[in-house]
Amino acid sequence: MPQKINTDFLVVGSGIAGLWFAHKVSSLGQVVILTKKEDTESNTNYAQGGIAASFGEDDSPETHYKDTLKSSKGLAKQEIVQMVCDEGPKLVQELYNTGIQFTTYYNSTGVKHFDLGKEGGHTRARIVHAQDFTGREIENGLLKALKNKCQFYEHYLVFNLILDQNKTCIGAKVIDTKTGNIYHFFANTVLLATGGIGQVYLHTTNPPIATGDGIAIAYHAGAKIANMEFIQFHPTALYGHKINNRYFLISEAVRGEGGILRTQDGKTFMENYHELGCLAPRDVVARAIDKEMKKAGQDYVLLDITHLNPAKVIQRFPNIYTTCLSLGLDIIKQPIPVVPAAHYVCGGIQINSWGETNIPNLFAVGECAYSGLHGANRLASNSLLEALVFAERAAIKSKERVTPHNSKISPPSSLIPDSLSFSLTEQPKTVDLTDQLRKTVWDGAGIVRSNHKLQSALEQVQIIAENAKNIRPLTPGIIELNNMITVAMLIIQSALIRNESRGLHYKEDYPDTDDINYLKDTIL
C-alpha cells in the first residue's frame, strides 16, 4: 500500500524554476521538492551562456522586448514578452543578492557592474553570466539558500498526477527509484518544473533525465499542450564525444566573442544565410550547418576561435576549455568540430501569466511550460529569465491558496491501494525501444521536416508504443519511455498540423511562412 505524505507545496523538479519558486514560498508553509536524480541534475545545471536582462547603459527592457519579438517569428504574446523583459532586471538583481556569483567588474570610477555577454539575435550585450557555467552557479547557489528550508526527495520519479472528483490537482503518484516504494504526495499547490524533452532525440545536449515527464503526465491529466513542433536545435554541440549520454554544449557565447563557423576545408558560410553571419538566430545557424554538412557529405563543421586572444578564451570559457582539453582538443590551437543537437522545447504545458494551467491547483514553469514568451523561436538566454519570472509569479499567485496543514485535502479512497507492480530491474527490450524511438524522432521530426517523413515517424512511434505498453512489471525506464512516446507523438502531431515553415519548424514541402492560416498556437 502506498504511503501518504502531506505538504503545502509540492515541487516536481530541481532546476532554477522549481528552486526559485520553493525559495519564495518556503516561508509560507512546508515545501517538498521531488527530483528524479541528484538535486543538482537538471537542464539548468548545463546552461553555459547565462540569463538575459537589460542592464547595459545602451539597453532597455523595450529593446530586449523588440529583439525577443523579432526572434519569435510572430508567435510570441506581446504582453508576456513585455512583462518578462520589464521584470527581468529586478529579479536577476535579486538572484545575485541571494549569493549567486555572477561575473562582475569595476569601471573606472569604482562602480561594480555585471560583465554582459552578447549572443545571437540580441542587438545589445545583455547576458548576465558566471563565466561559462552560469546554470551550475545558479543551481548551487539556490540549493545553498534553500538548505534546511525545504524537504528534498532525491531519486523520486512522478508517474501520475492525482485529481479529485472536481478535476482539481491535489498531488502526485511517485516511485522511489532506489527502493521501488510507491508514495502518494498530497498538496494544496502542485508545481511542475520538470524541464525539457531532449532525450526524445538521438542527439541532444540535455542530461538523461530530460524525458518530458511533466509534459506527458500533465497531458494525460487533461492539461492543454501548446506548440510542441518548435524544438530548438543548438547549432554547436561538440561532435564525436558524449558525456553521460549527452552532447557537450559549445555555448553560443563563443560565437558572441568572435568564434567563426567554417566548413571542414576552412571556408566561412554563415554570410550566405543571414545578415548577422555567425550571430544569426539559432534556427538559422542550425539549418545552415545542416545544409552545409549534407552538401559536403560530412558529419560536422568547425567552430574556429584560434584567432582570439588565448588568455581571454581561457578566462571567459574555462569549463569549455578544460572539458575539450580533457577530450584531447585544445580549442585555442585547433578548431572545434560541432554539430546541431536537440537543445530546448519552446512549447509545453500551456500556462497563463501566473504560471497556472487549465487544471486547478496545477502550475507549470520553466522549460516544461508554454508561456508565450518564445513563440516559434527562443532568443538565446531568455529561458533562465522566463523560469525566474514565472516561478516568481506562480509563488505570488499560490499565496492566495495557502491552507495550513493541508486541512482542505481529502484524498479519494479510490486512490489507495495502488494495483501497479514495479521492479527496479530494467529489461533489454526497454533500452532497444528507447533507442528506436530516439532515432525515429531524429530522422522524422528533426531540423528539416516534411509531411511524408513526419507521417512515417508517427507510424513508427505508434508501433513502438504498442510494444512498450505490454512490458511488465513497470520500471523507471518503462515510465520514462512511455513519457517520451507521449512527447514524441505531441511533437509529430503538432508538426503535421503546421503546414508552413516558421522559426524552429521547417518543412521542405511548405518552405514559406503562412500568416493567414498559421499565425496562431498549435493546441493539443
Active-site positions read: 282
Residue 293 CB: number of other CB atoms within 10 A?
A: 17
Give the residue among 327, 437, 405, 334 at the shortest CA–CA distance from 29: 405
Phi, psi values for residue 36, rounded to 5°: -70, -35
Half-sphere exposure at residue 9, Cβ-oriented, CA atoms within 13 angstroms: 36
Please name the residue that has the C-alpha cell 543548438.
234
Lookup: cell for 64:
530586449
The residues, any chain, with a CB within 8 Å of residue 435's CB and separated by 6 or more, are: none
- Which residue has cell 554547436? 236
Under the phi-then-psi rule, with left for phi > 0, alpha for psi from -120 to 50, and beta for the rest, what region is 314?
A: alpha
Nearest by Cα to 493 from 440, 448, 455, 439: 455
Per DSSP, helices labelled H in 48-133 are 61-72, 78-97
Q: Are 24 and 388 in contact (CB under 8 A)?
A: no
Measured distance CA(350)–CA(222) in Å, rounded: 11
Between helix 78-97 and helix 382-398 the angle, nearest 10°, is 90
Give ∠ CA 416-417-419 in degrees, rounded to 5.
125
Amino acid at 6: N
Length of the chain: 524
Sign of CA dihedral 221, 246, 366, 517: negative
Closest residue by Cα to residue 236 from 221, 250, 220, 224 = 250
CB atoms within 10 A of CB 480: 23
Do residues 399 and 31 lie in contact, with contact meaning Cβ atoms separated by under 8 Å? no
The three three-digit cell numbers of residue 148, written as one number: 534546511
CA distances from 366 to 35, 119, 190, 273, 280 (A): 15, 20, 14, 31, 24
